[in-house]
Amino acid sequence: MAKDADSREKTLSAAVKLFSQRGYHGTVLQDILDAGGAPRGSLYFHFPKGKEQIGEAAVQLGTDGVRQFITDAAQTSGNVQAFLVKLARGMAASLERSGYREGCPVATTALETAAQSDVLGRAARTAFQTWEQEIKRALISFGMTANQADRTATAVLSQLEGALLLARTYRSLEPMQRAEKALLVLGREALK
């Protein structure tokens, strides 16, 4: 049972990486098996509905990872500015660590499948909404009203997602550094 859970976990971690690197459609089940090291039978056991079910679970795993990252950034920051800088630098560092191969764990699948799959579209919506909520909660804890925090959280997430797209494509951290400065402007303005 523990072994089963372990092979499910390995499969999903591999799927998150591969979907992020080359997209949902660009990844075939054999790639996930090769990268995750789980036997084919275990894949069918854990994901009887096939690739779409793996995609959904991978988006959920990516959602949890980024939510945890946002929570940690909030808990280790003393004010809005420190929190926003941590978001931008943490994402930049993780993009750089992956050799510019992995940006947002959800964005690629979201863009490919939003208009095609209800299941994956819903999972991607939940991902972005979860992160917006988590950013909003942090902004409120640093003194914003719910209304300010609501609008600002959307702009902060958009700024980070767009900058990750540019930074990944350019293979350069400069868009993330400029996003960091933009986030500070947006945070300061919201608190006025």
Q: Which residues bind its own copies (CB under 8 A)?
A: 21-26, 99-101, 103, 107-108, 110-116, 121, 124-125, 128-129, 151, 154-155, 157-163, 165-166, 168-171, 174-175, 178-179, 181-182, 185-186, 189
Looking at the Cβ atoms of 38 and 92, the one nearer to its own copies is 92
Q: Dmax of the chain from CA atoms? A: 58
Looking at the Cβ atoms of 56 and 161, the one nearer to its own copies is 161
Looking at the Cβ atoms of 14 and 182, the one nearer to its own copies is 182
> Minimal distance in Å, beta carbon 1 to its own copies?
35
Looking at the Cβ atoms of 25 and 137, the one nearer to its own copies is 25
> Minimal distance in Å, beta carbon 183 to its own copies?
9
d(CA 120, CA 114): 7
> Minimal distance in Å, beta carbon 157 to its own copies?
7
> Minimal distance in Å, beta carbon 30 to its own copies?
15
Looking at the Cβ atoms of 141 and 172, the one nearer to its own copies is 172
> Minimal distance in Å, beta carbon 74 to its own copies?
20
